[in-house]
Chains A and B, each alone.
Chain A
């Protein structure tokens, strides 16, 4: 091929490359805009509904995606509702306790499994992973019997007891990954510096793996906040209900739904995880992906 015939060919190639790039970018933006509309429409519509009066909701004449007379009355009504505040308090209590229990259990176990080879540690690590694959819907009936036998049905303590099955395996699993990524020389240096196992954990491993600890804590928090199967099964009295089941079961009464209040309740209940997500998105995502990339 002569140089003369190559040059125009090259020019055409560059031009097509640029337009190829531009089309790829346009496709990307169109897809993402459609996806964002679909992904955000439901929460947006919930927000719109929660800001409407019951009369406006019941009026079939207008466009449901617009608000004519925005109001906060649904929110004030809910916040003034003692039962709803009770749901909130129950959710907070259960979640805080579960997060603490989970983190203590997982960090201790992950440290031992990542660093102190002992008899059966390999089996246990596999066991943790398998437990993670067992869904709550497989366990809730026997646990219903067990929790009932302990007299903890309709008590938030029953929830504190069983929620670790949702959180501990995954948190342990990702903490093992984070701890294992700490170079071995660091513990040897600490060992020579005179640290014992507990000092090594608290002075070296926990501070160094802090991003992992934050990610695991966020995971434990969101999972116990969103837990639905166990409270639905174990709690039937409104005063022990956490938010998820409380909103779903108690704000729906009879055939005339107070849709505005229901949506306001759902949004308020969803707020804490959303706030955590908004502020700690990178840790949140690190925790999500750690499970798969480390496993």
Chain B
């Protein structure tokens, strides 16, 4: 077990394209860190550099207190779970899990003990004699994890391990991975493009975009206090609404002027923070759950406006209303008991206590 430290890591491919543009990251011992971002953001490259499968152009990677830049993968004491599992097709499940230990010349008894132990953790004891071809997707996934566990490495690396599974199994394996981590407590770096996976699994989430880290933090913090427009939009589903707005001073307070003449009052607590933007064009961000019907709100800092939904989607536990505004397409989460119909104007309540303002010039949340 060990901490992992990345310092000013740059990955440049031939032709000068930078996939990773100098990232710094400290991962603590036992921590479960998830790298998340859209495809091409450099998250997989970062993971493969930690694994030693990809050369580092410049910077330093440190695993367990030693710089490993020049250490080949097999000597880094890491284990990796691949997206397509990469099980050796000609070996049985047992042999697949034992292979790494066998190459490291572990005694037979020790190998057996470790494999059986891992099989017990993962509940695949009855599959040990099968070939990967005879396994289902979820079982293969478990074997791939077993192969990592038996090695008892310093770090687990997961490269989008759930993206080949169907939706139901994905949820189930997600829980499984979390359980395993709670049992073995190995430092884990996990790459995914799915923000739900990131939120549910991580101690800390690292959001990456275009080769840089946008924000690092525990899931709740990322959700409630995104630092950039990218993080605000990427984390959360349905995604945060972004509406062009102008900040205007009104009798000691501030209001947001949205398209179609809608005006929303800024809560008093936020006035000081936003004062400097008075008269300026900004982007107003609000999550769909903070944009609701008026019948089920009682808090302060509520701003009410009228709008007609374009599409109404009943989901059972809630109803999503999609509203077209000039320059924006917004989504509100309504209580299912509230009658809502396409084209019929209805009052909506915006919980301004959870609003965000984004500076269009910098893309940062104010």
A and B touch in the complex (CB under 8 A): yes
Contact surface of A with B, Cβ cutoff 8 Å = 183, 185-186, 188-196, 199, 203-204, 207-208, 210
Chain A residues with CB below 8 A from B272, complex form: none
Is the CB–CB distance between A183 and B84 below 8 Å?
A: yes
Stretch at the interface among B75-83, B112-120, B238-246: B75-83
Measured between beta carbons, the chain A residues less than 8 angstroms from B76 are: 192
Q: Is there a chain A Cβ closer than 8 Å to B74's Cβ?
A: yes
Residue among B51, B78, B80 facing the most chain A CB atoms (10 A cut-off): B80
Within 8 A of A (CB), among B91-150: 99-100, 103-104, 147
How far apart are B55's CB and chain A's nearest CB, in angstroms?
A: 13
Given A199-B103, A207-B90, A208-B89, A192–B84 Cβ distance below 8 Å?
Answer: no
The interface residues of chain B, by DSSP majority, are classed as loop
- With A191-B73, A195-B74 in contact, do A185 and B89 touch (Cβ < 8 Å)? no
B88 and A192 form a contact (CB under 8 A) = no
Within 8 A of A (CB), among B49-85: 51-53, 72-74, 76, 78-80, 82-85
- Asked whether B25 is an interface residue with its Cβ less than 8 Å from the other chain, the reply is no
Measured CA separation A196–B86 after assembly (Å): 17
Residues from chain A with a CB closer than 8 A to the CB of B74 are 191-196
Q: CA of A204 to CA of B100 in the docked complex: distance in angstroms?
A: 12
Total B residues in contact with A, Cβ cutoff 8 Å:
24
Cβ B104 vs Cβ A188 within 8 A: no
Docked Cα-Cα span, A186 to B103, in Å, equals 15
- Measured in the bound complex, the distance between the Cα atoms of B74 and A196 in whole Å is 9
Given contacts A189-B86, A210-B90, 8 further A-B contacts (CB under 8 A): A183-B86, A185-B82, A185-B83, A188-B86, A192-B53, A192-B74, A199-B103, A203-B99
Known: A208-B88, A208-B89. A194 touches B103 (CB 8 A): yes
> Which residue of chain A has its CB nearest to the CB of B95?
A203
- Which residues of chain B are within 8 angstroms of A208 by Cβ–Cβ distance? 88-90
Closest approach, in angstroms, between the C-beta of A188 and any C-beta of chain B? 5
> Which one of B53, B72, B99 lies within 8 Å of A193 (CB-CB)?
B99
Quote the shortest CB–CB distance from A154 to chain B (angstroms). 45
Closest A residue by C-beta to B98: A193
Supposing A191-B74, A193-B74 touch, asked if A186 and B88 sit within 8 A by C-beta, the answer is yes
Give the docked Cα–Cα distance between A188 and B87 (Å): 11
**Nearest CB on A from B267, distance (A):** 51
Task: Give the CA-CA distance A48 to B100 in the complex, in Å.
Answer: 60
Which single member of B80, B83, B85, B89 contacts A192 (CB below 8 Å)? B80
Check A188–B53 contact: CB distance below 8 A. yes
- Contact assessment for A193 and B78 in the assembled complex, using a CB-CB cutoff below 8 Å: no
**Could you write out 22 A-B pairs with CB less than 8 Å apart?**
A183-B86, A185-B83, A186-B86, A188-B53, A188-B73, A188-B80, A188-B82, A188-B86, A189-B80, A191-B74, A192-B51, A192-B52, A192-B74, A192-B76, A192-B79, A194-B74, A194-B103, A195-B74, A196-B74, A204-B88, A208-B88, A210-B90
> Residue of A at shortest CB range from B72?
A191
Q: How far is the CA of A191 from the CA of B76 in the complex (A)?
A: 11
Q: CA A207 – CA B84 in complex, angstroms?
A: 19
How far is it, in angstroms, between the C-alpha of A193 and the C-alpha of B88 when the chains are bound?
Answer: 11
Could you tell me the distance between the alpha carbons of A196 and B83 in the complex, rounded to whole angstroms? 23
A194 proximity list for chain B (CB < 8 A): 74, 100, 103-104
Query: Using Cβ atoms and an 8 Å threshold, which residues of chain A touch B103?
Result: 193-195, 199
CB distance from A11 to the nearest CB of B (A): 44
The interface residues of chain B lying within 8 Å CB-to-CB of A190 are 88, 99
Using Cβ atoms and an 8 Å threshold, which residues of chain A touch B88?
186, 189-190, 204, 208
- Write the chain A residue with the least CB distance to B82: A185
- Is the pair B100, A191 in contact by a Cβ cutoff of 8 Å? no
What 4 A-B pairs have minimum CB-CB distances, sorted nearest first? A193-B100, A185-B86, A194-B74, A189-B86
User: CA separation between A189 and B147, bound complex, in Å?
Assistant: 10
Across-interface contacts of B89 in A (CB, < 8 A): 208
> CA–CA, A208 to B88, complex, Å?
8
Query: In the complex, which residues of chain A have a beta carbon less than 8 angstroms from the beta carbon of B85?
Result: 185
Q: Which residues of B contact A195 (CB under 8 A)?
A: 74, 103
Nearest Cβ on chain A to B114's Cβ, whole angstroms: 14
